[in-house]
Amino acid sequence: MKKLLFSYLLICIAGNVQGQKFDQLAKTPPMGWNSWNKFGCNVSDSLIMSMADAMVSSGMKEAGFEYIVIDDCWQVARDENGEIVADKVCFPNGIKYLADYIHSKGLKFGIYSCAGSLTCEKRPGALGHEYQDARTYARWGVDYLKEDWCNTTTQDAKSSYTNMRDALFAAKRPIVLSICEWGSNKPWEWASPIGHLWRTTGDINDSWNSMIGIFEKQKDLARYAGPGHWNDPDMLEVGNGKMTLEEYKTHFTLWCMLAAPLMSGNDLRNMSNDYRMILTNKEVIALDQDTLGRQATCYRDNGDYQIWVKQLAGNEKAVCLLNKSDEKKTVQVDFNLLSQIRGMGRFGGQQLKLEDYRVRDLWEHKDLTMKESTVYMELIPHSVKVFRFIKK
């Protein structure tokens, strides 16, 4: 009996070694740049290398952005051994060369594949080649894999992504696994032991309605996020030109409140100073990167006007006021009351004593001088105000 139990334990342990994700990765939401939102299928090594250069020269790297990810369309075929083949015209030096270049800039390198037989752009997918591809990625020096969900016919999502997780683990190079099945199978319920982030919705586009619609869908997902396992409301559109500056500020702030992965998706090489200021606002990024890893919860929802709260490490807290409407709103804000809201909604969080904290406006970059704890504030259409309660 004892012997049996012992062998069972051994099997369990061995099973575990195989079935594991790399645990020490993405302790805070991954930050980087991805080619898809701006460039779609027009990817090449010169584009990606210049983006790595711009990541450094623009101050994005300094602000915390580190992954440079090539999305769909880098791959064209499989060779006679089943090895994935990169487009030789667009990537004449091969992918490892690109990875080395990105690493030489002190950045990390990400790549895209798909759990189905073909990617969304009909390039070869990973199905049936997971272990082979994982070994190839490890050899190339890949640090991040985005795994899509097109052309999966009757595949089971959990098993498919588990298979890729195990393949990556067997290849022995720590690689962040970004699950991109658009929330179709409620990945928040099962993906935490499998991937480091999972998309919760379909694709974002560069419009207020798309962005705010996706944001609304995150409301009930806060409890599923935490260090090493994040809800992913999709990549950023900041700087792609079709929203107003105010809307981009809102987009960026809300993503940081959600502890969302921050994958910029604009052309970093020629961004305006305004866009750069948004993407590199370190005080707002600090909310996203807070080590407690809590996603904000909605404290008050008056339809067009909402208050969101994010519990932070060290008993600090962020509060975001959101005006979704097309009208200017004047709201009465009671900081005493806000300090007492629990930052994790019905899952707890600390009540603070206002007198122990200073309240900082993270876009104005200054502390509020509060003569009284209740003030009137104006929120222009589609805007936010975000405050951090900082211990005195």
Given the rule CB under 6 A, which residues bind ligand GAL? Answer: 36, 71-72, 119-121, 148, 150, 180, 203
In the complex, the smallest distance separating the C-beta of residue 208 from ligand GAL, rounded to whole angstroms, is 19
Pick from 320, 315, 273, 282: which is nearest to 31 by CA? Answer: 282
Q: Is 203 a catalytic residue?
A: yes
Q: What is the sign, positive or negative, of the torsion defined by CA atoms of 241, 245, 250, 256?
A: positive
In the complex, the smallest distance separating the C-beta of residue 41 from ligand GAL, rounded to whole angstroms, is 8
Backbone angles phi, psi at 386, to 5 degrees: -130, 130
Q: Which residue minimizes CB distance to ligand GAL?
A: 120
**CA atoms within 13 A of residue 61's CA, in its CB half-sphere:** 16
Fill in the amino acid letter for 215.
F
In the complex, the smallest distance separating the C-beta of residue 42 from ligand GAL, rounded to whole angstroms, is 12
In the complex, the smallest distance separating the C-beta of residue 187 from ligand GAL, rounded to whole angstroms, is 13
Which of 87, 203, 304, 361 is an active site residue? 203
In the complex, the smallest distance separating the C-beta of residue 73 from ligand GAL, rounded to whole angstroms, is 7
Residues 113, 120: Cα–Cα separation, whole Å: 9
CB nearer ligand GAL, residue 36 or residue 144? 36
CB nearer ligand GAL, residue 210 or residue 339? 210
- The pair of structure tokens assigned to 364 is 């104005």
Which of 72, 133, 143, 148 is an active site residue? 148
CB nearer ligand GAL, residue 180 or residue 262? 180
Residue 123 contacts by C-beta under 8 Å, 6 or more apart in sequence?
72, 73, 74, 75, 76, 114
Q: What is the sign, positive or negative, of the torsion defined by CA atoms of 235, 238, 240, 246?
A: positive
b (16+ CB within 10 A) / e for 220-248: ebbebbbbbbbbbbbbbbbbbeebeeebb
CB nearer ligand GAL, residue 232 or residue 316? 232
In the complex, the smallest distance separating the C-beta of residue 183 from ligand GAL, rounded to whole angstroms, is 10
Please say whether the beta carbons of 269 and 50 come within 8 A: yes
Three-class SS of residue 390? Answer: strand
CB nearer ligand GAL, residue 71 or residue 143? 71
CB nearer ligand GAL, residue 184 or residue 270? 184
Q: How many residues does the chain have?
A: 392
Q: To 10 degrees, the CA torsion angle through 206, 52, 100, 83?
A: 20
User: Which residues participate in catalysis according to the annotation?
Assistant: 148, 203
